[in-house]
Structures are given as structure tokens and as C-alpha cells.
Amino acid sequence: MSATNEEMIGRADVDDLEAILSVSNHDVDEAIHAVRDNADAIFTWDYEKGRRPALNRLYEKAKHSQWNGETDLPWDTGVDQEAVVVANATTNLGGLAGGIDEKLIADSPFAKWTEKEWIRVGVESQNWTLSQFMHGEQGALICTAKIVETVPWIDAKYYASTQVMDEARHVEVFAKYLDDKLSGHYPINAHLKLLLDDIVSDGRWDMTYLGMQIMVEGLALAAFGFIHQLTTEPLLKQLLRYVMSDEARHVAFGVLSLKEYYAELTDAELAERQEFAFEAAVRMRDRFLQQEVWDRMGLDVKEVLPLVMHSPQRHVFQSMLFSKIVPNCKKLGLLDANGGWLRARFTELGVIGFEDNPDTGEEYSMFQLAQGEIAS
């Protein structure tokens, strides 16, 4: 492995806060963002269905698991966003400060905050988090449409076409929840935007799978599960449960497709996939610092982020984001290829402990619920 951190992520130290914050979104007001995808559209004249039985089973399951975001969720549920912030904090975080050590914040801007400021940052954080989920789901929509174009197998094209519909529905429900129940959108985070641009612009079909199905969708599945457990708001809880049932199937699709393909790659080719997975992991970790929220609150981001990063809850959340990614990378052979290069990198990031978690293919059965069961 020859690529350096500077070549992969633009900095030598993955925890260099100055470098992380230097990545910013300068086009927050743009309505259209174009990325050249550099890929060939692949036709196949081999229409034999079921040659890959596991993919065919996912396709059949996907056809029976469609739900309607407009009619299957109780949109008449009232949402008092400030009350939800207080209830979530009281139930899960031990208070509105979210577990930030009082000794650490004694000489910081947080020391003068009243309940009003803590509630406001909770509201902004929820707006920001769900906005990034919405943007990420549009990334998945674009990438899955690209997979339909570029993957050479008919079974994979069939399944990916169902995921296009799933992702459109996910964008729809997050946008509706933000518009109708919360109090405003945030623009896409710069680190997420860079990652989506990289995934879309790579012309190799398996890189679209790796970047979106394994990395972005794997992180989303873990994040949705974490927030589903944390939130006390019933509409959001039900929305996330529906989305999670789709996402588990999507990640399983990526694992099934890539496992066969990666078994045939050379060490040099696997090295490129390992580097891509590491870069994606760092960019996704960086985006959850929520620097846009602290900036909107009128704080010096460089001053407050080190305090926020020491919050126990923040550490648990950021590490849990990789609970799906690490075992899936292991199943694909990426952890231990080339002398365990990616294993060493995930160890440095503090997430290697998840390697023995069930991969998403194994745990998918827990999400195979009938529509009525999901809604209950």
C-alpha cells in the first residue's frame, strides 16, 4: 500500500481538527450540483433470471416490501420539536448538555448557556442530522440508478431497480418530515458532498457498490438504529423503522454482489478498494462533527469542538456508526488483504472492535417483517 494519508484524505493526521474544518461547502445556495460519472452504461443480452439465487431472493423480497411514504406513516402526528429535544435529553443523555463534562466547559461559552440555548442547539442538531440523512439518501438514489446502468448481471440490475424506488421514497419521507414537522433544512455537509462526488465520479461499477452500499448505507443503517432507540418521537421512530427495513436489504445486496467479485481481484486491485473504504470512513466520521450547527449558534467552532468531542455520548455514537461497516468489510476480505492494511487503519480509528459483529447478510432476517408488523 503506497498511498499516504495526504493523498487519500488531504492530511497526515486523521484527527487534525484544523484540516477537518478547512473543508467547507462554498456553494450552500446552489440548487443544482453536477458531477461527471465517467461510467459506461452496460447492456446485457443474458436475461437468465436466478443465476445468482441470493440476489434473486432479495429482488423477490424487495417487490413484496414496498411501502408508501405518503399513506403508510401517521403524518397527522403532532411534533413539538422543543419538547422532543427535552424528552430525548432527559431519557437518554442525562440532561440537555448531552453529557459534556461541566469541568471542561467551565471556562467555555457553554458555561453561560441557559436551558434556552441547550434546547435550541438540540433543535438545530436534529434539523442538521435529518438534513444530512436526506442528502445522503439522494446520493443513494443517484448511485443506485448508476448501478442499474453499470452492473453487468441481470439479477443485480433487477434488484437495483427496486432500490431506486426505495431511495426515492426515503428522500421523500425525510424531506416531508423536515418540512412539515421540524424547523428547517441544512445544506449538505462538505465532507459528505466530497464523498458522494467521489463515489459518483468513479467509473468502476464495484466502487459505486463499495462507496454507497457498504460504506454510506452501512453507516446510515447503524445511525438510523441508534436514533431509533434514542428518539421518543413516535412518528420519527416509525419512519426510521420503515427505512431501516429497506436499508438492511440494500447493504445485504452490496455484500452479496461484491463478495463474488472481490474474490477474483488481485492484491493491487484490492488495495485500491481498501484505500477507498478508509477514505470514505474518515469523511463520514468527519461529517458528524456538526460544525455547521455550532457556527449557526454563533460559537467559535475551533474552540467548542474539542469540548464536544470529549462527550462520552459523542464518542459512543461516532464509534457505533461503524458497527455495520467493519464486519461487512471483513466479509468482503478487505480487512485482511495486503497484510491487514485496512484492519490497521480501522484499529487507528478505534472501530476494529466491531469486526465480529454479524455482517448485514447474516442479520437481515431480523428486518424481514411484514408491513403490518413494521407499522405496529
What is the residue-wise DSSP string for 91-153? IIISSTTTT--TTTTTTSGGGG--HHHHHHHHHHHHHHHHHHHHHHHHHHHHHHHHHHHH---
- pLDDT, one tens digit per residue, over 239-298 is 999 999 999 899 889 988 899 899 999 999 999 999 999 999 999 888 888 899 999 999
**pLDDT value at 209 more than 90:** yes
Q: What is the pLDDT, as a whole number, of residue 370?
A: 37
pTM over 0.85: yes
Question: Of residues 363 and 106, which shows the higher confidence score?
Answer: 106
- pLDDT, one tens digit per residue, over 15-57 is 777 878 788 777 767 889 999 999 999 999 999 998 899 899 9
Report the chain's mean pLDDT, rounded to a whole number: 87
- Residue 344's pLDDT band, with cuts at 50, 70 and 90, is very high
Q: Answer yes or no: are the C-beta atoms of 212 and 139 closer than 8 Å.
A: yes
CA-CA distance, 269 to 293, in Å (whole number)?
39
CA-CA distance, 221 to 359, in Å (whole number)?
12
- pLDDT, one tens digit per residue, over 159-175 is 999 999 999 999 999 99
Q: What is the pLDDT, as a whole number, of residue 189?
A: 93
**pLDDT value at 87 more than 50:** yes
For residue 230, the one-letter residue type is L
Q: What is the pLDDT, as a whole number, of residue 5?
A: 81
CA distances from 168 to 142, 219, 322 (A): 9, 19, 25
- pLDDT, one tens digit per residue, over 47-86 is 999 889 989 999 999 999 999 999 999 999 999 999 999 9
